[in-house]
Structure 1
Amino acid sequence: MFNILVTKELPGDWLGLLGKECKIDLWKDVYPPPKQCLMQHIKDKDGALVTLTEKIDKEIIDVASKLKVISTYSVGYDHIDVRYAISKGIIITYTPEVLTEATADLIFGLILASARRIAEGDRVIRKGQWNTPWYPTFMLGREVFGKTIGIIGMGRIGKAVLRRAKGFSMRVVYYSRERHNVDAEYLNLDELLKTSDFVIVSAELNELTYHMINEDKLRLMKKDSFLINASRGKIVDEKALIKALTEGWIAGAGLDVFENEPLPRDSKLVNLENVVLTPHLGSATVETRERMAEIATKNLLLALKGEKPIYEVRF
């Protein structure tokens, strides 16, 4: 049997499937294992099934002398030193595609919640502050239908957002490292920011996209525009965004990801009314999370047996 480490409980019965062919060392806490604990448990393993909260760096890889595969239960793999792992002969697998539609749904939820002040309205009622039945200027928001949406990154999720935007008769513009054959207009990043009513961050995190949306870029956006990020928190300079929201450079934001997660309780974002915050819920549907578990376990088993995984990270 293969000797494997699994760093989280998984939905469905996929650990049962793994248990038929592997001896499982399972970390049962919802919190990620401390680094020293992770190093201790991974050193004799043939494979590891991890999540985005476990940082698999060079030091961890070096102690895992028997490791053949790291299967990550995520579409992103920036938490793994992928290049170094591959150089050591370790296969890296991931779970793209399956979470595309769920994440695009959430992005549109953030668009609507931000523009129409849905979360803010909910708070008004819960706090007992709805004192007048109705009047013409009460809690005015912005329309979404027919507006311009700018998508940064035209991968799977970007294309899924585009399809939804067409249902709202929106003009779609996009910026990406390369042009795509899509029903949208390509613009450079600065023009996209100047043009869009809703700016959607759907790029992957790497050395080029880290703090791509910084103070200079935020100042280019329209004062009545919204920034939506359900990709990776570190693509947006959070301090600059707080300044933009506080000083009114933009109208608002919808954020599912943050530079540090969980978001610190003393973050200034928490006290801003013009931002909608969700705790990294992009893929958080029953259907998607169970499918991710299926893909992650199958990736792991296939790689351990010397067969081709369903999704492998390659450079």
Structure 2
Amino acid sequence: MKLWITRPLPDTVIEAARAVCDIEVRQETLPLSGDELRRALTEFDVVLPTLGDAFSADVFRDVPHSRCKLLANFGVGYNHIDVAAAQACGVAVSNTPGAVTEATADIGMMLILMSARRAAEGERMVRAGAWPGWHPTQMLGLHVTGKRVGIAGMGRIGQAIARRCHFGFGMDVAYVSRSEKVLNFPARRMPTLKELAASVDVLVVAVPGGTETRHLIDAEVLAAMQSHAHLVNIARGDVVDEVALIAALEARRIGGAGLDVYENEPVVPEALRALDNVTLLPHLGTAALEVREAMGMMAVENVAAFLQGNPLPNAV
């Protein structure tokens, strides 16, 4: 049985995979090309892909008799895989939920603070040698303690961010979700996303990616936000209408934004990069060694279960 790992992974993960089956590790860090996507399905029994490896319906259509029978995705998000098309070709899909929750929530909290307190703007000022020294009205930002945070998507990561906001910063929590959540802290479920956006000081996007959530944060939602409010996105880039966000930031219709993901990664529009009221991170959500190791080990556990004929621990 042959496993293809499509990106370099931590050594501990590679060794664990090697103990399970015959492996080939691709050394490129960019997503699979079209030819490589088709090679994945024709030359390997199992593939361990990740973000950007676009297993679309067209790819599966070109390989109707796939040798590959499992895409053991490295990551909780799998909107780069057309799951319905995969399953129609007899290809199972798994992911790595849980392993990413706390690390991604940490980045969400960091972006809330960086955006609200203008940290990136201040850091650029210091590096440029343009800091004139402290004075009482310099770079006044939003004090988040005691403010109201809105969570769009109250799953594992949304709840982890909300806990940090409530217990760490005394923030009032509101949210929108497909169902009412049983939580160990007070939180109010709002009827609509626009009502949530209009009522909070910080709006955090924590929904899954995919066609159902594409441009969920659009011009109407941004227009509903208060002029001092900040938007934070740690979900998927295309959940936010990037053109509408740039327009809102340029017109100073919202207080600012903190982004870890982008609509056309790794391309970040020049218009966005030129703004001083947005904090931009290079998709750092899970960028800690122990987290990437945990994600990899979870993916390998899915591979091992598949090879042994057992149910997948994390089937999509």
The alignment's TM-score, normalised by the length of structure 1, stands at 0.95
- 2: CA distance, partners of 1:99 / 1:141: 30
Structure 1 residue 149: Cα displacement: 0.1
1:275 to 2:278 alignment: yes
Pairwise mapping of residues 231-242 of structure 1 onto structure 2 (< 5 A)?
231-242=235-246
Give the one of 203, 225, 230 matched to 1:226.
230
Cα deviation digits, residues 129-160 of structure 1 (max 9, x gap): 012x3211111111010000000000000110
- 1: CA distance, partners of 2:122 / 2:241: 28
Structure 1 residue 240: Cα displacement: 0.3
Give the one of 209, 212, 217 matched to 2:213.
209
Cα deviation digits, residues 40-63 of structure 1 (max 9, x gap): 343021110001120012333342
Instruction: Look up the match of 2:147.
Output: 147
Which has the larger displacement, 49-58 or 59-68? Answer: 59-68
- 2: CA distance, partners of 1:44 / 1:178: 42
For residue 152 of structure 2, what is the amino acid of its counterpart?
Answer: I
SS of alignment partner, residue 32 of structure 1 = coil
Structure 1 residue 302: Cα displacement: 1.0
SS of alignment partner, residue 43 of structure 2 = coil
For residue 9 of structure 1, what is the amino acid of its counterpart?
Answer: P
Instruction: Look up the match of 2:177.
Output: 176
Instruction: Look up the match of 1:287.
Output: 290
SS of alignment partner, residue 121 of structure 1 = helix
For residue 243 of structure 2, what is the amino acid of its counterpart?
Answer: K
Q: Is the 8 A contact 1:172 1:185 kept in 2?
A: yes
Q: Is the 8 A contact 1:27 1:33 kept in 2?
A: no
Instruction: Look up the match of 1:18.
Output: 17
Instruction: Look up the match of 1:51.
Output: 50
1:256 to 2:255 alignment: no
- 2: CA distance, partners of 1:16 / 1:61: 30
Instruction: Look up the match of 1:116.
Output: 117
Give me the identity figure in percent: 40
Instruction: Look up the match of 1:244.
Output: 248
Structure 1 residue 25: Cα displacement: 2.5
Instruction: Look up the match of 1:38.
Output: 37
Which has the larger displacement, 272-281 or 208-217? Answer: 208-217
For residue 158 of structure 1, what is the amino acid of its counterpart?
Answer: G
Q: Is the 8 A contact 1:5 1:42 kept in 2?
A: no
Cα deviation digits, residues 188-247 of structure 1 (max 9, x gap): 212111100000000012332111111111100000000000101111100000000000
1:97 to 2:98 alignment: yes
Q: Is the 8 A contact 1:174 1:186 kept in 2?
A: yes
Q: Is the 8 A contact 2:37 2:54 kept in 1?
A: no
Structure 1 residue 32: Cα displacement: 2.0
1:135 to 2:138 alignment: no
Structure 1 residue 23: Cα displacement: 2.1
Aligned residues: 310
Structure 1 residue 301: Cα displacement: 1.7
Give the one of 200, 207, 212 matched to 1:196.
200
Q: Is the 8 A contact 1:68 1:304 kept in 2?
A: no
Instruction: Look up the match of 1:60.
Output: 59
SS of alignment partner, residue 59 of structure 1 = helix
SS of alignment partner, residue 16 of structure 1 = helix
- 2: CA distance, partners of 1:101 / 1:184: 19
1:304 to 2:307 alignment: yes
Which has the larger displacement, 100-109 or 161-170? Answer: 161-170
- 2: CA distance, partners of 1:208 / 1:40: 29
Q: Is the 8 A contact 2:194 2:220 kept in 1?
A: no
Cα deviation digits, residues 71-128 of structure 1 (max 9, x gap): 0001011100101212222221100111100000000000000111111111111101
SS of alignment partner, residue 260 of structure 1 = coil
Cα deviation digits, residues 245-282 of structure 1 (max 9, x gap): 00011010000001010134x52110100000001111
Q: CA RMSD in A?
A: 1.3
SS of alignment partner, residue 13 of structure 1 = helix
Unaligned 5+ segments in structure 2 are: none
Structure 1 residue 303: Cα displacement: 1.1
- 2: CA distance, partners of 1:225 / 1:35: 41
For residue 275 of structure 1, what is the amino acid of its counterpart?
Answer: V
